[in-house]
Structure 1
């Protein structure tokens, strides 16, 4: 009897201690994740010290006017800002492979192939650097690994508080055929990073300590998680109105399972269902929003959504004949614009990297405005409430943290 009592007491103690042990392990993983982000912050600042500019999000080899010379011989300026940080993250070996021609055995090209300097487009799976998992880019709390992803990342560039033209809007800085699109991009792209455009610390007029530079993202596990598997929303992004995602971000909140709000309900069209390679954080080398971008619209750990629009810059609505686009079809959902909030496997919030290199933990309950049916700075003209260029972000403190020069005062610690 005494032995049974002792065993029972030991069992009760183990049962009480196990949750504490698990919590301690998660705390250690969270600290490691924060340290990774700190290293990224130091890398960004060292890059800026070396080149007097931030690494460009949307860079690489580029043939003018979107020449379709083949994904294997140029990357069409589709590389993320993380590629430029490689030498500053003690990844010199991978950087040397990227900046020099690299021989790979590619069956799709009939055997051995020589990839040019800066590599092919980021979806080419036979190019070794793009499928390499870099420990500094991975949060220990995130269990995602393996195919259909390539090299994963849990850290993404912040583009600010707009869902409109996150990719080709900024392309207007190099495509000059229609100045109207440059004006649209100029009024819309309000974050620290602007795709295909070089920004500097001097552009962050709101103060480095008050501006989110990067954010944490959870990678997709193939389970229709609303935070990692973007809903494909057919309402479009043009024009901004109460019925389109660009004018009404609350559309992204529909379609979840009532019994499990963190997952999409059956029947919801999501990009992971369209193509298993379209998962959050699946390609660290790609600048496409699904893989390496966050927006400060919906609060952390909210659903992510991609929208659709065709035909700008004289392009047509059919496949590869497109000369340029703002967003594209479900089959190309990794390139689509939309709402891509930060997310994490930590309890209650996400890490963000501020412009001064500080790492902060933002809770899911951060003040993000009282009305999500609004959109800022659309096409240089007044539209829905708060859409006039220069307007205060309608997404409260969260939106204000995402803008680099909106002159919005942050009065208290967050």
Structure 2
């Protein structure tokens, strides 16, 4: 009897899959890895945004020096053209910008925005209205398109680009000009105010102050602030980007008073605050205090407070940013530095100085960095 030479076929093994327990373990491991890596990724992204923001400040610093080399002076913070005698009515919107223009406009040719500057610095007709050089008031962006232009050098990647003023028709600005350690901003069109600005503004920039030179900064270019970050609001009552208004002169006599209007838990203005403006940083074309100015009284990322409804004048306008722990500033020598929220601010219960000259700032290292001729001895600014 012959035996078959064909061996029986081997039995197939069944493919074993993941058990539920193994699957849950893998998912848990992936979750832990994501949890460990995500903060590092976010930190790396913020570091990149902060570096980009610092580069913007350095570009603005170079622009200031090139402007000074060209005109032998620094630009005003607020100023411009007037269609009638200073202090009088200017009539229709197309006569002038009523001396409300921004010093940022003057820097446009020096940050590779020559075409935009040329458009502003020439007669233009939009929507059937003819405008003179330097345009109408900065509140007229709806009829004057140049004011609505977004300028990349004016924008910090960490700050929100939410347009909350004038129906979203304005170009934002996340950098502000320093008016020093005084809360007594000088503004509006009267000739006496231009004179007062030259005798009372203790910082680098002021209202119609277009004759400031680097040689006037007696404390040294590396010891005084030219500009700082200024973040915009995302709406609501948050202190970043907001300004509490109508708080009375108490905040001027004792800046520390401003903190009593803020919730420590939510970092928002209390419901008792009558009005919260969201104007900070909302218009680069406007030289008004709320839009492009800071003073070095309250520490970085503090609330902004003003004593009256007209938020262009007297008040506390701190530097603010969305970077953790502080803000970046531009010194007058063109360098950028990071300033901690915990920087020495001296005695915030004292009123701000009301004069230029060698009057020591009462607000510690932070105040000394804002004044340009206070003759303070500045220690570490880290």
Q: Is TM more than 0.5 here?
A: yes
User: Residue 307 in 1 paired to residue 303 in 2?
Assistant: no
Go from structure 1 to structure 2 and tell me whether the alpha carbon gap of 1:17 and 1:406 turns closer, same or farther (over 3 Å shift).
same
Q: Is the CA contact 2:295–2:317 (under 8 Å) kept in the aligned structure 1? A: yes
1:398 corresponds in structure 2 to: 366
Q: What pairs up with 1:265-414 in 2 under 5 angstroms?
A: 265-272=270-277, 278-308=278-308, 330=309, 332-333=310-311, 335-369=312-346, 371-378=347-354, 390-412=358-380, 414=382
Native 8 Å contact 2:77 2:102 kept in 1: yes
**Which has the larger displacement, 150-159 or 187-196?**
187-196
Which runs of structure 2 are paired with 1:86-125 in the superposition (5 Å)? 86-105=108-127, 112-125=128-141
Contact 1:229 1:270 survives alignment (8 Å): no
Q: How is 1:161-240 mapped onto 2 (pairs within 5 angstroms)?
A: 161-168=181-188, 172=192, 174=194, 182=195, 185-198=197-210, 199-236=212-249
> Equivalent residue of 1:66, what SS?
coil
How big is each residue's C-alpha offset from its partner over 1:344-402, in whole Å with a ceiling of 9 and x where there is no partner? 00000000000000000000000001x21212333x6xxxxxxx974311100000000
CA contact (8 A) 2:298 2:318 kept: yes
Matching of residue 142 in structure 1 with residue 142 in structure 2: no
Partner of 1:313: none
Shift of residue 245, structure 1, vs aligned partner: 2.7
Mapped contact 2:164–2:279 kept (Cα < 8 A): no
Q: Does 1:46 align with 2:59?
A: no
- Distance in 2 (CA, whole Å) between partners of 1:409 and 1:91 is 38
Equivalent of residue 77 in structure 1, options 70, 91, 99: 99
Asked which structure has the greater CA Rg, the reply is 2
SS in 2 for 1:246: helix
Residues in 2 aligned to 1:167 and 1:144: alpha-carbon distance in whole angstroms = 27
Give the equivalent residue in structure 2 for 1:251. Answer: 257
Give the number of equivalent residue pairs. Answer: 355
Q: Which of 75, 87, 106 lines up with 1:66 in the alignment?
A: 87
Identify if the C-alpha distance between structure 1 residues 411 and 373 changes in structure 2 by more than 3 Å, giving closer, same or farther.
closer
Instruction: Give the deviation of 1:135 after TM superposition.
Output: 0.8
* Conserved 8 A contact 1:233-1:245: no
Alpha-carbon RMSD: 2.0
- Aligned residue among 17, 22, 31 for 2:42: 22
Q: Secondary structure at the match of 2:118?
A: helix
Query: Shift of residue 166 of structure 1?
Result: 3.1
Q: Describe the SS at the equivalent of 2:251.
A: coil
SS at structure 2 position matched to 1:100: coil
Is the contact between residue 87 and residue 190 of structure 2 (CA under 8 Å) also seen in structure 1? Answer: no
Quickly say closer, same or farther: Cα 1:67–1:413, change in 2 above 3 A. closer
TM superposition score normalised by structure 1: 0.81
**Gapped regions of structure 1 (runs ≥ 5):** 106-111, 175-181, 237-243, 273-277, 309-329, 381-387
The 2-side partners of 1:170 and 1:56 are apart by 16
Q: 1:204-245 CA deviation, whole Å, 9 max, x = no partner?
A: 010000000101011122121223211113423xxxxxxx33
2:172 match: secondary structure: coil
TM-fit CA distance, 1:268: 1.0
**CA distance in 2 between partners of 1:187 and 1:97 (Å):** 34
User: Structure 1 residue runs of 4+, over 4 Å off?
Assistant: 168-171, 184-187
Shift of 1:125: 2.1
Query: Structure 1 pair 13/81, CA: closer, same or farther in 2 (3 Å)?
Result: same
Change (3 A) 1:411 1:18: closer
CA distance in 2: counterparts of 1:57 and 1:256, whole angstroms: 29
For the structure 1 residues 171 and 403, does the alpha-carbon distance in structure 2 shift closer, same or farther, using more than 3 Å as the test?
Answer: farther
